Amino acid sequence: MSETVYNRIALLRAERNVTRRQLSDALGVHYQTIGYLERGEYSPSLHLALRIAAYFEVPVEVVFSTTPFPRIGQRSA
């Protein structure tokens, strides 16, 4: 069983014109942590995942998933 956690952090940041530095400052984490999360090199703690979702004002399921998100513009079957 894979323990990969997929995320849409980069997409949400781009939609809202938020830099990694701005997001990291708001969350109280190092800016490189945001990069590690976005690249899937690091899985967030539950607490951090909930704080990221709250920052973007979306449910945590919009930001994180245990299965890959469909590509933008790709229809589900």
Q: Which domains does the chain have, with CATH numbers?
A: 6-64 (1.10.260.40)
Task: Report the interhelical angle of 46-56 vs 20-27 (nearest 10°).
Answer: 120
pTM value is: 0.86
Above 80 in pLDDT, residue 51? yes
Q: What is the pLDDT of residue 70?
A: 84
Pair 52, 63: CB distance under 8 Å: yes
Give the CA radius of gyration of the chain.
Answer: 12
> What does the mean pLDDT of the chain come to?
92
Pair 60, 49: CB distance under 8 Å: yes
Pair 12, 23: CB distance under 8 Å: no
